[in-house]
Structure 1
Amino acid sequence: MDPNSITFAFFLIFSGAAVLASVALYTRQPMIIAYIALGALIGPYGMGYVTDLKLLSDIAHFGIIFLLFLLGLDMQPQALLSTMKKASWVAIISSIAFAAIGYSVAWSFNFTHTESIIVGAAMMFSSTIIGIKLLPTTVLHHRHMGEMMIGLLLIQDVIAIFVLLILLSGDLGEFDLMLLGKTIIALPLFILFAIGFVKYILLKLIQTFDRFHEYIFLLAIGWCLGMAEAAHMVGLSAEIGAFIAGISLATSPISQYIAVNLKPLRDFFLVLFFFSLGARFDLSLLGSILLPAAILALLIIGLKPVIYYGLLRNVSERKPLAWDIGFRLGQISEFSLLIAYVATGASLIGTEASHLIQATAIITFVISSYIVIFNCMTPIAVSDKLRRD
């Protein structure tokens, strides 16, 4: 067996994930933990059985794209717009607070001013994958809590794009205003294009050939990936493109059929995402960043729910809902990892600062998952009373 073969890599990843997931389920642990642990175990910094992380990371990105596409299919546009108006203030104020926490911890551990700013920026966001994967689809996506969470996450995505544009300019003191202007103009035009294309072309194709299920499946994937790539080309993120692709189809009668059929494909890629997260972490650097990462992670896990709770209560959300959203969003994001990778590539931060962000992400992903499955309604809850699909 060729150790560099993608077939061999997939064999190790999915066979190993099945074994560790079985252990996780028997011991009542989140399966996400099994995937991250497997990456650390057989990745290049562990046993070295899987080394092509660039390819796996690119493939894993499809999981996030499909996740956002399926979210869009579950959202009604009018309800989402109404929720986002309320969520915008919460998202902006909370992002400033989380950035201040990240900056303060990094600066106190003698990271440079630039590194501390970037660490702070990485703390602003909550994970779409953790937040939504642990959210019961049939119970909560159509309720106000699901709408509010998604509204918050989408606004954070826009903030993340802004941060990435600054980083890609190569200097925190400079910013390409032309690039920002292009992005701001592109978003509404992109939405109008999606609505028009669905109304005048896509729905007509679906109505004409709806008896051919394979065709509907291919059309949905093509539309999702096409919009993701188009969004990337005009300066938006692929995730926002996929979400717009989904929400433009949300009012169609076929939307739930598409959502149900694409879930296994989404889960396939998300396994790869969590595996690559564990595999990309260099364990040899753990000693030098463990203390600041642990302090930062505990502050994020402890303060994010409290901050979200206070802000959501100020916009008249009920106490149980405010706490529930706060705990579900009590981690940092996959965008935080992207910020770390981009900033490292641009030589804005060193390896230790990058791994501080990565370690904080892993710790918050793990602990946040435990908090949710033991206390909130979720498809993988430990208690039968809390388990909802």
Structure 2
Amino acid sequence: MEEHNLVFSFFLIFTGAAILASAALYTRQPLLVAYIVLGAVLGPYGMGYVSDTQMLSEISHIGIIFLLFLLGLDMQPSHLIHMLKKATLVAIGSSIIFFATGYGIGVAFGYTQTEAAIIGAALMFSSTIIGIKLLPTTVLHHRHTGELVVGLLLLQDVIAIMVLLFLYSGDSGDNGMGTYLKTLAALPALIAGAFVFVKYVLLKLIQRFDRFHEYIFLLAIGWCLGLAEVAQMSGLSAEIGAFVAGVSIATSPIAQYIATSLKPLRDFFLILFFFSIGASFNLSLLDEIIVPSVILAVLVIALKPVVFRFMLSKISESKSLAWEVGFRLGQISEFSLLIAYIATSAALIGQEASHVIQATAILTFLLSSYVVIFNFPSPIAVSDKLRRD
């Protein structure tokens, strides 16, 4: 993408987003809807004003990385470990149920066994972005809800990475087990290395130069993106690296200052992320995929809250909290979009099956956002009573 095209694309995206966001706020609609609709209208399958969606998608991925970093800054390590222990069986059990549901629907609509299995895999995960962006982080009595949502999302991320590694290593079957073992070893090594570096290097730098706010800002960005890159090179995801980077300095007094400083930067990139989702969707395939996509989306919206409500109640969580967590996780994930992209590139699924996954993701992003903002506290709730930062 040439420089003038990039500037023009940014002009269209952010000016258009400002206009549609204003209309969305006046009509009490979630802002995410405005960004996705704008992408569909201006993207290559709409009016075609913004054509290089691949570039925008790569840029917007930084927003997800910052989102996970900021999330880690709010998580105390001791609380996080306790929550992961509680949520492990729930994450595994629910993933099996959602996989079986997607696989069954895929087979019922005549997709191949491989395509049905990948559709099932795409339904296993909930969106880190939707789940966290609609979760209040500064309201004390929602802290446990937040920890539970984060614990489940992180465990799902680990499962998603295993699925992605399987797809990546599809062409080299002998190296598959070695890749998995490398990844399993990389996670504890990354965590240990991060905490050691923070204790002996990062915190000492922060304590020495904490009067220079610009330096703290740069140090935080460098630490976040640096550990994200190390995680990716180790076979993990950049998101997990960013989250570990945040958790590793969560006990520092400077953590909340860093979180406040980076929020505008995060929102800038997340607007690009949601725009790129809408822009990447091929509207010409809509007639062929609308029926299975709508059925899958309705099943996801209806089934996920029920499954999480049942399974969370088994680990002694209250009914109201279990329902809220279920509705907050009642969509599929950005990992699902990545699964569809990789599987298509590897010729494991066709364009139609890939777009079924993409359409289901977009529909569940939109529908679950509506459910949450009308019924639960969130930063973009339509009601002043429910709006929480």
TM-score (norm. length: structure 2): 0.98
Superposed, 1:88-103 pairs within 5 Å as: 88-103=88-103
Q: State the AA in 1 paired with 2:231.
A: A
* TM-aligned CA distance change 1:377 to 1:142, over 3 Å: closer
Contact 1:140 1:146 in 2 (8 A): no
CA apart distance, 1:144: 1.1
Tell me, in whole angstroms, the C-alpha distance in 2 between the residues paired with 1:7 and 1:316: 52
Runs of at least 4 residues off by over 3 Å: 171-175
Superposed, 1:15-94 pairs within 5 Å as: 15-94=15-94
Tell me, in whole angstroms, the C-alpha distance in 2 between the residues paired with 1:205 and 1:142: 33
Are 1:205 and 2:205 counterparts? yes
Tell me, in whole angstroms, the C-alpha distance in 2 between the residues paired with 1:296 and 1:62: 29
Q: Alignment partner of 1:49: what SS?
A: coil
Tell me, in whole angstroms, the C-alpha distance in 2 between the residues paired with 1:285 and 1:172: 32
Are 1:363 and 2:363 counterparts? yes
Match of 2:220 in 1: 220
How many corresponding residue pairs?
Answer: 388
Q: Alignment partner of 2:385: what SS?
A: coil
* TM-aligned CA distance change 1:235 to 1:56, over 3 Å: same
Match of 1:258 in 2: 258
* TM-aligned CA distance change 1:4 to 1:350, over 3 Å: farther
Superposed, 1:97-116 pairs within 5 Å as: 97-116=97-116
CA apart distance, 1:4: 6.1
Q: Alignment partner of 2:139: what SS?
A: helix
Match of 2:318 in 1: 318
Tell me, in whole angstroms, the C-alpha distance in 2 between the residues paired with 1:50 and 1:387: 33
CA apart distance, 1:382: 1.2
Match of 1:240 in 2: 240
Q: Alignment partner of 1:170: what SS?
A: helix
Match of 1:306 in 2: 306
Contact 1:3 1:50 in 2 (8 A): no
Contact 1:145 1:325 in 2 (8 A): yes
TM-score (norm. length: structure 1): 0.98
Contact 1:380 1:387 in 2 (8 A): yes
Tell me, in whole angstroms, the C-alpha distance in 2 between the residues paired with 1:207 and 1:142: 31
CA apart distance, 1:237: 0.3
Tell me, in whole angstroms, the C-alpha distance in 2 between the residues paired with 1:143 and 1:289: 39
Tell me, in whole angstroms, the C-alpha distance in 1 between the residues paired with 2:171 and 2:206: 47
CA apart distance, 1:316: 0.3
Q: State the AA in 2 paired with 1:248.
A: S
Contact 1:25 1:31 in 2 (8 A): yes
Contact 2:137 2:143 in 1 (8 A): no
Contact 1:309 1:323 in 2 (8 A): yes
Q: Alignment partner of 1:135: what SS?
A: coil
Tell me, in whole angstroms, the C-alpha distance in 1 between the residues paired with 2:171 and 2:125: 22
Tell me, in whole angstroms, the C-alpha distance in 1 between the residues paired with 2:127 and 2:326: 12
Q: Alignment partner of 1:252: what SS?
A: coil
Tell me, in whole angstroms, the C-alpha distance in 2 between the residues paired with 1:350 and 1:173: 22
Runs (5+) with no aligned partner, structure 1:
none
Are 1:13 and 2:21 counterparts? no
CA apart distance, 1:218: 0.2
CA offset digits 1:264-309 (Å, max 9, x no partner): 0000000000000000000000100000000000000000000000
CA apart distance, 1:170: 2.2
Match of 2:158 in 1: 158
Q: State the AA in 1 paired with 2:362.
A: I
Tell me, in whole angstroms, the C-alpha distance in 1 between the residues paired with 2:209 and 2:175: 48
